[in-house]
Copies of this chain bind each other. A is one copy, B any other.
Amino acid sequence: MNFFRLNASSGVPLYLQLMEQVKHAVETGAMRAGDQLPTIRALAQELVMNPNTVVRAYRELEHDGIVELRHGLGAFISESVEARRKSMRKAQAVVQSAVERLRSMGATEEEIRRLFENELSAMHAETLEGKQ
């Protein structure tokens, strides 16, 4: 029994939607460290998509440290997720207050996005400054 619900016609790639849902499930505590995720084939069948699409989602989640794949055994929520959740809560609070301030200043969603991309690449520039 799964709570994953994907929207094939949303334009958002299926593997990304699935990743989001897993991350969300972890963040809300609906899934916890050690829990087994649905089998690749079973989930593919239930969501009517190709097993390789599920694989892609699971592999990227593994790269993000959220999921652990065990050959022949299944996919599981990684143990490291608990510590992660605590720090992410604090970080989310920071982000929330920043976004609220930005909205109250009249910034649109697009602009907020851009301001962040700006800031993140400015960071890169600083990091590389010494090398050039």
Question: With contacts A109-B120, A120-B109 known, is A115 near B102, CB below 8 A?
Answer: no
- When all copies of this chain in the complex are counted, the total is 2
A25 to chain B, nearest CB (A): 14
Are A112 and B116 touching (Cβ within 8 A)?
A: yes
Contacting residue for A87 out of B105, B119, B120, CB 8 A: B105
Are B94 and A101 touching (Cβ within 8 A)?
A: yes
Beta-carbon nearest neighbor of A98 in chain B = B98
Q: Does A95 contact B (CB under 8 A)?
A: yes
Interface residues in A88-132 by Cβ distance below 8 A to B read: 88, 90-92, 94-99, 101-103, 105-107, 109-116, 118-120, 123
In the complex, chain B residues whose CB is within 8 Å of the CB of A64: 110
Q: Is the interface of A mostly helix, strand, loop or mixed?
A: helix
Are A91 and B116 touching (Cβ within 8 A)?
A: no
User: Count of chain A residues with Cβ under 8 Å from any Cβ of B?
Assistant: 31
Are A113 and B115 touching (Cβ within 8 A)?
A: no
Are A99 and B116 touching (Cβ within 8 A)?
A: yes
Are A91 and B107 touching (Cβ within 8 A)?
A: yes
Contacting residue for A119 out of B23, B95, B106, B120, CB 8 A: B95
Are B111 and A113 touching (Cβ within 8 A)?
A: no
Cα A123 to Cα B102 with chains together (Å) = 12
